[in-house]
């Protein structure tokens, strides 16, 4: 019996698109492309996700790759990007319905540690019992350790958990530990039907 539903954040609860986010800081389409691809490059974001990069150090390095006229824009992006990620329509309602069904809710997300202080920008998070944020604990999906951290910290039985994520590698690791997995493909209605069939809403 599933007692706990674990959600990813980016591309599950919220939409994450580098160029869309960057477009809030420049009216020029070409500059938004540069700012998004360079300012939110995986080489930086993966370090943020693992808690291995501080924001001040990031700004020093990323400014070396950007033209000077975009320096102020990347400072604002660094400060505000969480609030620029729109919710995926229908997902907060699903989260609320799972909560109403009496299930425990956990977040398991590769995310900058600033999420802890800015979670109010993601309204679905108000229903969650606990947040496991990779940047805080310096462990990231799909590494086994972050799943074990979640299970041990909250005394969860793997077979009583369902994990919803958009990344096949993350789902595969969860399943290897005995956690049930659902690969989210942005089809909210399909997810709702699945949860209904499993008596989770």
Per-residue pLDDT of the chain (201 residues; tens, 9 = 90+): 999 999 999 999 999 999 999 999 999 999 999 999 999 999 999 999 999 999 999 999 999 999 999 999 999 999 999 999 999 999 999 999 999 999 999 999 999 988 999 999 999 999 999 999 999 999 999 999 999 999 999 999 999 999 999 999 999 999 999 999 999 999 999 999 999 999 999
Rounded Cα distance, 158 and 155, in Å: 9
Q: Is 107 helix (H, G, I), strand (E, B) or coil?
A: strand
Q: What phi and psi, each to the nearest 5 degrees, are found at residue 116?
A: -55, -40
Tokens 């599950």 sit at which residue?
12
Q: What string of H, E and C letters represents the secondary structure of 27-54?
A: CCHHHHHHHHHHHCCHHHHHHHHCCCCC
What pTM did the predictor assign?
0.95
The two structure tokens encoding residue 2: 């599933």
Tokens 């005995």 sit at which residue?
178
Domain boundaries, the chain: 4-15+86-197, 18-84
Rounded Cα distance, 144 and 174, in Å: 8
Q: Judge contact between 137 and 51, C-beta under 8 A.
A: yes
The two structure tokens encoding residue 142: 């799909």
Fold of 4-15+86-197: Rossmann fold (3.40.50)
């Amino acid at each position: 019996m599933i007692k706990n539903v674990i959600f990813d954040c980016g591309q599950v609860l919220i939409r994450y698109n580098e160029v869309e986010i960057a477009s809030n800081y420049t009216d020029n389409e070409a500059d938004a492309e540069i700012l998004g691809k360079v300012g939110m490059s995986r080489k930086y974001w993966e370090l943020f996700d693992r808690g291995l990069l501080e924001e001040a150090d990031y700004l020093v390095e990323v400014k070396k790759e950007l033209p000077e006229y975009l320096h102020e824009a990347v400072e604002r992006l660094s400060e505000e990007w969480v609030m620029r990620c729109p919710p995926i329509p229908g997902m907060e309602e699903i989260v609320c319905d799972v909560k109403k069904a009496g299930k425990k809710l956990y977040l398991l997300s590769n995310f900058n540690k600033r999420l802890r202080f800015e979670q109010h920008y993601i309204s679905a998070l108000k229903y969650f019992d606990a947040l496991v944020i990779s940047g805080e604990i310096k462990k990231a999906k799909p590494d086994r350790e972050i799943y074990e951290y979640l299970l041990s910290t909250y005394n969860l039985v793997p077979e009583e958990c369902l994990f919803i994520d958009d990344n096949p590698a993350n789902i595969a690791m969860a399943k290897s530990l005995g956690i049930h997995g659902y690969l989210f493909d942005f089809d909210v209605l399909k997810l709702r039907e699945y949860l209904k069939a499993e008596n989770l809403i």
